[in-house]
Structure 1
Amino acid sequence: MTSTPEIYLLPSSPTFTCLDRFSLHPDPDAIEDSNGHVQFWPILTDVLSQPITSAASLVDTLETISTTLNGTTVPANDHLLLRNILEETPGFFLTIWTCIAKVALEMPVLFPKGYLPVLGRKSNEASFTRRQIACLVVHQFLRTLRAPAWRDDGMHDFGIWYSIEQRQKSAARAYLLALAKYFRDVVAKLDGEGGWNVVYTLRSVKSMSLSEDGEGLPLADIEIEVVAEYDTLPASLGLPGGAAVVASNKDVGFGQSATQEEVHVGISPEACPAVLITPRLSDDEVLVVQGAQAMINMTGKRRDIKVATMKAPDSEEKSWRDRMMLFMDALELDLDAKGAGLPDLQPGNVDREIRKAYTAFCSGGFRGVRTGLWGCGAFGGDPVVKVLILWYAASLARIKLTVVCDEEIRPVAEQLDAIVSAVNGHYSFRNATDIRQLLKDGPKDLRSHQQTALWFMNRLGAK
């Protein structure tokens, strides 16, 4: 396995080179390395100095950049979806593009070392001004960035959204709308460094006595909240004063469909550079992103998602600086066809999920956490077990937990609410360790959510 590098090289670095396929380097006598490559930055500077007055000329520029660096425009291909969005964005070619190009060319000043620190190597935290973040996002848009050493899925720049043929066109279109709004409302209006920093932190709690840490701690406040449909308004993202769980993959980031992670990152361009500096999460790691502004509201889920108007947080727009995104990857669980029982309740799996959730919840800086049914969709987790795990972790972290369900899964929410009420009303449940014991008592041969909910309600004497 290739070791994770300590740095991520930026295109402004003198050591970031390419084959000058179209003889674009402004210096005809540019020094070539042993592979015949020249420094990329002078080429980009020259390319971005050309006038851009239409979607067609911008696409020509993007194709030139992609082909110069990689020999291909894949996966952008026809760029038709991008063209549509840009043509719908008022003033893009009159004023916004000039700001984009300006911020892009500030990279050598904004990042004088020519690289970014990779999280977990020498430091677990990277803090950037909003202007620095804008520069990185712009380069993800321009596709001047190469994939980090630990990624080979193409999900490091925005070219995955540009073609008209999409796995889920409504999702890709929404993410491009969010990006266009970010360019218009943030990048084009940046004042100095931008007002606050966006901070990426890789957190890990390696030593933790899961059987004893809850001794004497009261059960956290918990609420099972049913909403008509999911949205990404500030209150749903934890503002003010709270945080929101992002049910992530081990490789955090954005994508082409509408998973919860892809939605939360795709509507928040300032969270997107996380892919450049965050290696694959280990079982005891979470990523916390603070200060990324969400640009649009997305309602619904999966193929029914829609774009709606985003509202500013109640206590002014700059409250976005306090937004906390908790990237937590759940175990991918499948029921064994041979009848091995519910994998959720295997001791190693329970401990892993508790440690993951606790690591996120004890990050600090917030008083409560909002989450969906973490790990219960494509990853196959059992809702009852997962909610009990999250409740236990919230109790250890001494924060309030809000579990959000939509109308489609109201019956599940009602079962969860009944179990929560039974725990809170049970004479023998007094502290967090009682939840841990309840999880230990769960029979390992349960086979489905209905069986799990029934067993726990019977164990608690719930009706």
Structure 2
Amino acid sequence: MSRKNSDGVKGCMNQMNNRGNTADPSSRGESKNRPSQMDSAGATSQHRSNENGKEAARERRTASVVSSLGTSPKSKEQWPTYPIQNLKTMQDLSREFNPLLAKKEHTILIDMEWIRRGVIVPHQGTHVWDSHHVKLPHLYPLPPSHHKSHAPPSRWEVTRHALHRLTKGSNSIGDVQTAIMSYNSRNKDNWTFEALYYYVQRLPRMENNLHLLIPKMAKLALDLPELIQKPIPLLRQQQNQAITMSQQQISCLLANAFFCTFPHRNDTKPGSEYANYPTINFSSLFANKTDPTKLALKAEKLKAIFHYFNTVTNDEDPAKPEGLVTFERISIPPSQLPAWQYQKVPLTNLHISPEGSIEEEGTGMLQVDFASKYIGGGVLGSKLFQEEILFLMSPELIVARLFTEKLADNECLKITGPQMYNLTSGYSETFYWECPYNDRTKRDNWKRRYRQIVSIDALDFKNPKEQYTKENIKRELNKAFVGFHGDVKTAIATGNWGCGALNGDPKLKALIQLMAAAVSRRDMAYFTFGNKELAKEIQRMHEILTINKVTVDKLYNWLKEFSRHNTREHHLPKDLYGFISEKIGHMAILL
């Protein structure tokens, strides 16, 4: 699709158009042809020759056994895969979703009695200012020494005055900068707004409606005291806790993030109050001191952000959100994680395809966010990988950065009900905003979209060989299980989690996710973002494993053995799937 093709723009209002084909396969983490590492310097050529001969013999024997078992691929061009229409979605299991319950572990910011009548109003509560809750800008306390009659204006008074001026009419980016810096004066030497200026300069005059949008956004930010009338808890490490809020409340919080009103959130240095949290104020998105080449990419991010605000501030837009979203932090104690060596469960069904996307074809399934430990990753900076793109397609996800502490190894964040607003194309340096997306996903009884996203962070392997150690394999299995675990068994929509920028091996990561899905009793839809060969290889492996009734415990033990094999210097590195096929061959011979 061309960027300015009018027919394409009309089409993508209703559906995504082959998103997977526009991505950069090498960046998305598909299989790469890495040169094989040679033996150690002390190995003799005779030793290498013997090893090669043994390896070739083993491969011939394995191929013979596998073929005799009927597990060779059916065709080089086509392969069988489980029908995606047979995978369970949220709508299929809508009756199994637990009702929203206001309890100690679940804070609901809207009045439950009114929503039962179809009306969304804020829940009344008593605000607090402490280390367990979000410190809202309108609650910023005056210094104890200041008597009210002699005190200078409070930070919120300054903020309110500055934003009120922006509501009055046409404003330049200079006016926005002046307003933001009036209550962030400590950062006058650090914050810059190059990306914001660049966005306006490059925007065609006919498309520039900021003179109308900025006043609406400022008014939305000023509605904070009326829309948020109950403390918002911080989702802290090792606590199972959830927050449900309206999409209008989310838009208000994000408008405040845009205008950088949140106090105590600009310092993330080690030892600071919020060092363990992502940034939330948009100052880092506006700035671009170090790399002029990133300006165009930040402008594309701003297109997505401004389209979101255009939608939520337009009373006549049918896409204006009128529902709820739930953010749930899930922590599973290490003692309750699976003992993988004893999990005698078979693999579940797998639909795999090089076409399609997690976001579109995976609608209604548990969609995997290839997350950073800090939710949203570099969405407010310069990065543009899978998580950042997801957060720009659904900007409501960005609000999770306000209250979600860095994820530990046994934790995930699950988000139920977010709406999709933007259609994008490309990946990393090829990313661009394409057009609005008209989200027609239905809602549950609590007005949440039938969309559920789970954020799980994979390890970053500076040395790719480290991912094959027993400890790292177990860590990734546990992280995937924490994300996939749950009472409602919708299918999982995922892909090359932790590959690409994090150097993960997609063949290994596919097996890890399949194992975690099996123990969680969920089927899976796997998208390889245009990589047909990888899709074939994973499908072949899944077919071999299921036909031969290989259970998770057996596969886990083979992965541990593969780990030991690859750490022996006198052995040639082996292909993981070839190694497993060989083990299946030996298993069949023993039987």
User: For 1:77 and 1:13, how far apart are their aligned partners in 2?
Assistant: 31
> 1:423 maps to what in 2?
545
Please identify, of 320-329 and 83-92, the stretch whose mean Cα deviation from structure 2 is larger.
Answer: 83-92
The answer to whether the 8 Å contact 1:65/1:142 transfers is no
Deviations 1:167-214 (CA, angstroms, capped at 9, x unpaired):
6344322221111111111233399x9522222111112112323673
User: For 2:375 and 2:546, how far apart are their aligned partners in 1?
Assistant: 35
AA partner of residue 198 (structure 1) = V
Instruction: State yes or no: 1:15 paired with 2:15.
Output: no
Q: How does 1:76-95 map to 2 (within 5 A)?
A: 76-77=193-194, 79-84=196-201, 89=207, 91-94=209-212
Deviations 1:13-34 (CA, angstroms, capped at 9, x unpaired):
14278xxxxxxxxx995515xx
Shift in Å, 1:281: 0.7
Q: Which one of 288, 292, 305 corresponds to residue 431 of structure 2?
A: 305
Instruction: State yes or no: 1:435 paired with 2:555.
Output: yes
Please identify, of 125-134 and 4-13, the stretch whose mean Cα deviation from structure 2 is larger.
Answer: 4-13
Q: Which one of 390, 396, 399 corresponds to residue 264 of structure 1?
A: 390
AA partner of residue 31 (structure 1) = A
Q: How does 1:42-441 map to 2 (within 5 A)?
A: 42-50=157-165, 51-56=168-173, 58-65=175-182, 67-68=184-185, 70-72=187-189, 74-77=191-194, 79-84=196-201, 89=207, 91-94=209-212, 96-112=213-229, 116-120=232-236, 124-146=241-263, 147=265, 149-151=273-275, 155-163=279-287, 168-189=294-315, 194-206=321-333, 207-211=336-340, 214-215=343-344, 217-227=345-355, 234-236=359-361, 238-239=362-363, 241-253=364-376, 254=379, 255-313=381-439, 315=441, 321-335=449-463, 342-365=465-488, 367-407=490-530, 409-426=531-548, 428-429=549-550, 431-441=551-561
Instruction: State yes or no: 1:453 paired with 2:577.
Output: yes
Shift in Å, 1:395: 0.8
Deviations 1:220-245 (CA, angstroms, capped at 9, x unpaired):
11133102xx767x424x31x21211
Distance 1:154 1:167, change over 3 A: farther
AA partner of residue 347 (structure 1) = K
Distance 1:169 1:418, change over 3 A: farther
**How many residues are matched?**
428
SS of aligned partner of 2:455: strand
User: For 1:39 and 1:64, how far apart are their aligned partners in 2?
Assistant: 15
AA partner of residue 203 (structure 1) = I
Compute the RMSD of aligned alpha carbons: 3.4
User: For 1:374 and 1:117, how far apart are their aligned partners in 2?
Assistant: 30
The answer to whether the 8 Å contact 2:341/2:556 transfers is no
The answer to whether the 8 Å contact 1:298/1:306 transfers is yes
Query: Unpaired runs of 5+ in structure 2?
Result: 1-129, 587-591
User: For 1:457 and 1:76, how far apart are their aligned partners in 2?
Assistant: 56
SS of aligned partner of 2:517: helix
AA partner of residue 195 (structure 1) = E
AA partner of residue 546 (structure 2) = N
The answer to whether the 8 Å contact 1:204/1:359 transfers is yes
The answer to whether the 8 Å contact 1:143/1:159 transfers is yes
Distance 1:394 1:78, change over 3 A: closer
The answer to whether the 8 Å contact 2:171/2:214 transfers is no
User: For 2:150 and 2:396, how far apart are their aligned partners in 1?
Assistant: 35
Please identify, of 5-14 and 134-143, the stretch whose mean Cα deviation from structure 2 is larger.
Answer: 5-14
User: For 1:188 and 1:324, how far apart are their aligned partners in 2?
Assistant: 26
AA partner of residue 234 (structure 2) = V
The answer to whether the 8 Å contact 1:384/1:449 transfers is no
Please identify, of 300-309 and 270-279, the stretch whose mean Cα deviation from structure 2 is larger.
Answer: 300-309
The answer to whether the 8 Å contact 2:173/2:197 transfers is no
Distance 1:139 1:281, change over 3 A: same
Deviations 1:79-121 (CA, angstroms, capped at 9, x unpaired):
3134345966454423x334322221111122235x5311037
The answer to whether the 8 Å contact 1:179/1:267 transfers is no
Deviations 1:364-399 (CA, angstroms, capped at 9, x unpaired):
556112222111222222222211110011111111
AA partner of residue 252 (structure 2) = C
Distance 1:68 1:172, change over 3 A: same
AA partner of residue 473 (structure 2) = V
Deviations 1:255-277 (CA, angstroms, capped at 9, x unpaired):
32211111111332211111111
User: For 2:154 and 2:194, how far apart are their aligned partners in 1?
Assistant: 26
User: For 1:295 and 1:69, how far apart are their aligned partners in 2?
Assistant: 35
User: For 1:444 and 1:335, how far apart are their aligned partners in 2?
Assistant: 17
Higher strand share: 1
AA partner of residue 256 (structure 1) = S
Distance 1:168 1:415, change over 3 A: farther
Larger radius of gyration: 2
- Percent of aligned pairs with the same amino acid: 20
- What TM-score, normalized by structure 1, do the two folds share? 0.81
Please identify, of 180-189 and 167-176, the stretch whose mean Cα deviation from structure 2 is larger.
Answer: 167-176
AA partner of residue 210 (structure 1) = A
- Which gives a bigger RCO, structure 1 or 2 (Cα 8 Å, sep 6+)? 2
